[in-house]
Structure formats: structure tokens, C-alpha cells
Amino acid sequence: MMFQGFSRDAAARRLGAATLGLIGAGAAAIALAPPAHADFELHYPIIDYREFEFEHNGDTTFDRRKSGLNNNQSYTFELGYAPVWWWEPEFEADLNAPPGQNSAFTGTVFENTFQLTPQGKYWADLGFFAEFSHAAGRTEPDSFTFGPLVQKQLPDIFGVDLGYDTLHTLNLLVSKEVGSNRQDATPLSIAWQSRLRLNAYLEPGVEYYGSISSIAGSSTGTPVQHRLGPVLVGQYNMFQYGKFKYEAGYLFGLNAATERGAIRWRFEYEKAF
């Protein structure tokens, strides 16, 4: 009986030690994991009424090997249609490939863009963006993201006539996690783009993407991130066959919390029905 009791006690101690080891390993993995990858996507407040669209966004990062910031990849595939002039819903599939891992499906997103003002009628074109993201993993939280979209076209910049109009777009989006394992933080994502309207095929510009880990509630501890770089935007009109739009940019990391660089792209096909 004493021998049996000793065996049970020893097994319990071994089980407890193994459990503590697994918990410690999990905590270490979370602590050493790279920060969540930001999506470099700009949302516009102007809706193309009664147009069907297929859109693909992607990006990949560059940094030192084994830095945890190199080769972080993100891909989205979206289908949308605007049944009315002021609202466009879209369904999106998200795929991500963190450094050293293969690409995997990470979630389904229901996006909504609302055009709040007729284009060109007021001092700026205003819109509102709202999405619900459903995580693919059962242990991962879902999230809501929403915020204003602002766009302004100007004939000059600070009184300097460049010979072409300029277009400026700003997104201010906050997120909130819901469901199991959620965090109470309220992250803020900032996206800004200014471009020179040379012609429909080629509009060079500059854009900025920033993120703040929380503006309300508890902080995630993720440092503020800043990225800035050039971008090319354009479209090709195929008339009755639709339109093809593209964006291609390179972003430089401006602080230690970001990768040294990232490329991003966006391809979109639209057709009116």
C-alpha cells in the first residue's frame, strides 16, 4: 500500500511538473511571438454604384533573417457589389503566413462601406467603414473594426500649383475583439495616401500606415508602428468589359517596432451590372 501511495504521489508530481512546463513554454511562445501583422489596405469613401468587384490585396515584409519581422505575408480575396449608391457590402477571405510558416486561412470578413455624402458636393467626401471578422481558429477571438473615411481633391498643395489635381484619403479605424480569449485593448489603425492625378493609368503618390496598440482599455504592450513610402495607383478602362485597377507601393519602417521594409499590392476588377 505504501509503495502504491508513493507511486501515485510521484506520478502526481511528475504530472504537475509537466503541466507547469507546458504553461511556461506557452507563455514563452506568446512573449517571443512577433507582433500581429498589420494589413496595408486603404479604404475609399466613394462607391461605384451597381458594380461587381473582385479584389486581391497582398503584402510581404523584409528585415534581417531571424528577426521575427522578415517575410511576414498577408493575402486577402474579396467579392463585393453595391446595390445602392451609398452602401457596398463585401465578403473577404484572409490568409496569413507569419515568418517561417506556411500560408494558412485565418478568417472570414464581412465588410461594409457607406458613402455619407455625394461626391464633390461638400468640402470633403465622407464615408464610414465597418467590418466583422470571424477567426478561423476556435480559440481565437472575433473582432469588429469601424471608423471614418475622408477624401479631398485639391487643385494645389499649400498654394503651390503642380499642374495637376491631388487626391488625399484618410482612414481612422478602431478595433474591438469579442468572444473567448479576447483582449480589452482598442487598437487604432491610421492610413493616409496623397497622390498626383497625372492620368488614369498612372498616379504617383506617398502613403503612411500607423498603428497604436490601444487608445482605450488595457494595452497589449505592442509598440506604436509607423510606415511611410511611395505608391503607384492607376486603372485601365475596358468599357463594356469592365475596369482593372491596381496599386503598388513600398513602405519603409520608421521605428524599431517595424520591419525595415514592406511591399504591398492591390488588384481589382470591376464590372457594372
Cell match 534581417: residue? 64
Q: What percent of the chain has pLDDT over 70?
A: 86
Contact between 203 and 168 (Cβ < 8 Å) = no
DSSP calls for 135-166: ESSTTS-EEEEEEEEEEEEESSBTTB--SS-E
Say if residue 243's pLDDT is above 60.
Answer: yes
Q: State mean pLDDT over 178-200.
A: 95
Confidence class for position 27, pLDDT limits 50, 70, 90? very low
